Amino acid sequence: MPRPIPINVLSVRILPNADPALLASLAVRPGHRSLGIFTTDCDDASYAALDEATKKADVAVAYASSMYGGAKNASTALAGEFIGILSAPCPEDVRSGLAAAVAYLEGGACFYAADGDGAVVYFAHCISRTGSYLSGLAGVPEGTAMAYLIAPPLEAAVGLDAALKAADVELKVFYGPPTATNFAGGLLTGLQAACQAACDTFAATVQEIAASPLTY
């Protein structure tokens, strides 16, 4: 059985009334003056968590980025692999958004180890309905079902091919190798059942490669 890899939220801060220069630099929405900032040791699950926050609170994603190299190569103790910034009209909204994001990460959105020692990991996460953030990235309406698929470069390419052939899904975003964390993958959309089938196929393909990498 694939082993889930827990995610650690490393740091969280709220700026109730952020400086106008910072707000302008982040190009936040008009009327948004409060920011919520957090870092974690897992980027892709955290992008999905940001999207969840947009569904649960009156917040927008002001900034989101992966750190280069990945969590095991983090430059400092609290930098991790990801930083996300939410904006909102007031601190209470930011707090609600951060709480939703953290709860999402604690609720099971995570990478999995494809082999026994976790040398190969992957993210195959089915989102039943997207919020404003992932919808914007993929260019689809809010509420669209999505398969969020990420793995090391070769595994991702083969896994995406298998997922696209196994289910009635469409590749909306391709993350070509190498990403900032030296992975690859994509965002696929379709009916929820099709997205789940794509996730299952992607996961099985990555596991197969991890078990027998030189068989072709």
Q: Mean pLDDT for each consecutive 10-residue tract of the chain (216 residues)?
A: 91 98 97 98 97 98 94 86 98 98 94 92 98 98 98 98 98 96 97 98 98 95
DSSP β-bridge partners for residue 23 = none
| pLDDT for 137 | 98
| pLDDT for 69 | 84
The pair of three-digit structure tokens given for residue 167, joined into one six-digit string: 């289910």
| pLDDT for 116 | 81
| pLDDT for 75 | 85
| pLDDT for 112 | 97
**What gap in Å lies between CA 33 and CA 96, rounded to an integer?**
15
**What gap in Å lies between CA 111 and CA 119, rounded to an integer?**
12
Task: For residue 125, count CB atoms less than 10 angstroms from its CB and return exposed for 0-12, middle for 13-18, buried for 19 or more.
Answer: buried
**What gap in Å lies between CA 86 and CA 81, rounded to an integer?**
17
Block residue for tokens 């940001």: 50
DSSP β-bridge partners for residue 38 = 12, 84
Block residue for tokens 């993350």: 175
DSSP β-bridge partners for residue 63 = 85
**What gap in Å lies between CA 14 and CA 95, rounded to an integer?**
7
| pLDDT for 108 | 81
